[in-house]
Amino acid sequence: MQRPSLERVLRRTYVRLAFSAVSLAAVCLVLVSWTVLRAYANDNLMLLARSISYTVEAAVVFNDAPAAEDAIAQIAGNEDIAQVRVVDNHGATFVFWERTGDGPLSRSVHRIADLALPGGAVVPVMHNGKVLAKIRVRGRGHQFAIFLVGGIGGVLACLLIILGAGTFIARQMHRDIVEPLRALAEVAHAVRRDRAFDRRVAATPIMELQELGNDFNALLDEFEGWQHSLREQNATLSHRANHDPLTGLPNRTHFVARLEQTIRDARALDTAVGVLYIDSDRFKEINDTLGHDAGDAVLVTIASRLRETLRKDDVVARLGGDEFAALLPGLEDEDDAIGIAQALSESMLEPITLPGGHQVTTSVSIGIAMFPSHAHDVASLLRTADSAMYEAKRTGERAWQMAR
């Protein structure tokens, strides 16, 4: 029986070893990356769904389907979303939005993405603690599918390059081939185990393996870029969901969450917490007589002055309309809160310059409530401060009132 030569055996062994190692590394990388990207896509879809829920809340409350559809279209049209359905508590469809205009190629890509992406996100539309409807959002997955297909193509190209390098002699296999493949597999495993997308394959003296390493690193660059992009989108959506778009201040949801945490800390440290409920005295008059642009400029200026006057650790938020609230942690007594309220009132004395050069003056009415003197929970504290604010408003402009 004719036996194969050593050169042939080593070449065949190299080919098998290279194919096995690179295949394992590629499969691990694709599977792990798919799992990670799928998780990020799901988080991104949930953030979009919450953003849509917050946006259409008013339209659902007033049963205004066209307004809800317009609001959904503004958000979903700029994001990777295929369908949005708003269903009321009786199971009936209140609003249905679906992306149109995709060609045959796009539809094929979407079918591929449906196999990899999560089934969709469902979030409630809440108002005053009640569920008014549910929003079901299904991702379009266009960028995800293209990226995944491109990644698989890159892996296949890498395999072809490795298979074409089987002519190298056996003596160089361990030094020039096995070790680089082992390093590549270690990077793939690091990505799979630790999601270390910053790892890269080192340079090697063999051209084919160097090209493989470059392609492999390019894939990692793309995965890292995709991961960074998703993180930025999540951060943007998180900021949008927790901040007022006009003034940039935290919104009611964010303020309530911070207040709850501050009260828990105050209970543990046995300290006082102050809440100021702030309302502009002339906002409706300015808005009605000078226009919405003037009203917006007034709100932005009030927000800026509140933020500049408060202490570093204080939190000011826009609750809605011309109503603001300030959270004052770590107070010694009521006099501290009164001093801050007086400073806020005095900060409004300077005239506000409107678009076009016109100037107006305004003032604020402030209600003050203290934890634990006046209330022991978030809802009661806000309600007490709100009542004190209305009492201050009845006494005249630039007034503040401590809760009783």
| Distance from C-alpha of 96 to C-alpha of 85, rounded to nearest angstrom | 4
| Token pair 């009521």: residue | 334
Edge to edge, the sheet with strand 130-139 lists: 93-98, 81-88, 130-139, 121-127
| Token pair 């149109």: residue | 100
DSSP helix, strand, coil percent of the chain (3-state; round to 5): 60, 20, 25
| Residue 279: closest CA among 365, 159, 398 | 365
Strands 364-371 and 359-360, bridge-based pairing: unpaired
For residue 66, cis peptide bond before it (omega within 30 degrees of 0): no
| Distance from C-alpha of 334 to C-alpha of 349, rounded to nearest angstrom | 24
| Residue 320: closest CA among 61, 110, 14, 6 | 61
Provide φ and ψ at 77, rounded to 5°. -65, -25
Question: What residues are annotated to the active site?
Answer: 322
| Distance from C-alpha of 310 to C-alpha of 249, rounded to nearest angstrom | 13
